[in-house]
Homo-oligomer: A and B are copies of this chain.
Amino acid sequence: LQGQDIRLTPTSYIVLGLLELTGEATPYGLKQLAANSVGHFWTLHHAQLYSETERLADAGYLEERRETTGRRRKRYSLTDKGREALERWRAEPTDEMPELRLPGMLQLFFDTDPAKLAPVQLEAARRELAQLEAIREVDTGAGPRGPWLALEAGIRITRESVSFWEDVLARSTPAPVRARRPRSSRA
């Protein structure tokens, strides 16, 4: 019934955390939940939810209940072991600082022309910032503190990225030459 101990990954805790919030859900339901909550800074593919729930259930962190009607989907919920694991995780704040693997930085590092790179990255960063800020509009701040704070962090960091690329752009193109459309462009 309750297999070997497994290693709990961030993915695991997302599943556990979401199930705590929602009580019970199918893998696909979890995917949706995730997309609308953590999804803004930590995306999971739906395939992952199938394997992860199964893994967690095998190890005794989740209880599996088959629907009796229609498609007889699997619905998962937390066991006591699952709840405890989540609590233990919360009780032990991580000091992990993962690397910031930004593809743009890699190109910058290997001498891609900043004047070419900066505008592209700048626009992408601005788009992302706008999106995050739009989400904050909706979030009244009435709900739980955690998600709100995480969103705040995302906004601040993204804003810093925007500012960084703005500076790079400014430094790399003193006089940004915009291609002016010639009178007659036909050759």
Binding site for B on A (CB under 8 A): 10, 13-14, 17, 20, 37-38, 41-43, 86, 89-91, 93-114, 116-117, 120-121, 123-125, 128, 144-147, 149-150, 152-154, 156-157, 159-161, 163-164, 168
Contact B116 A93 (CB under 8 A): yes
Contact A94 B108 (CB under 8 A): no
Which of A109, A145, A146, A160 has its CB near the most chain B CB atoms (within 10 A)?
Answer: A109
Q: Which residue of B lies closest to A159 (CB)?
A: B160
A111 contact from B94, B102, B125, B145, Cβ within 8 A: B145
Cα-based distance from A24 to B125 in the complex (angstroms): 36
CB-defined contacts of A117 to chain B, threshold 8 Å: 93
Q: Which residue of B lies closest to A118 (CB)?
A: B93
CB-defined contacts of A121 to chain B, threshold 8 Å: 93-95, 97
Contact B124 A107 (CB under 8 A): no
A103 contact from B94, B147, B152, B157, Cβ within 8 A: B94
CB proximity of A154 to chain B, nearest CB, Å: 7
8 A–B contacts, CB within 8 A, in A order: A10-B103, A14-B106, A89-B107, A97-B104, A98-B102, A102-B153, A111-B146, A156-B160
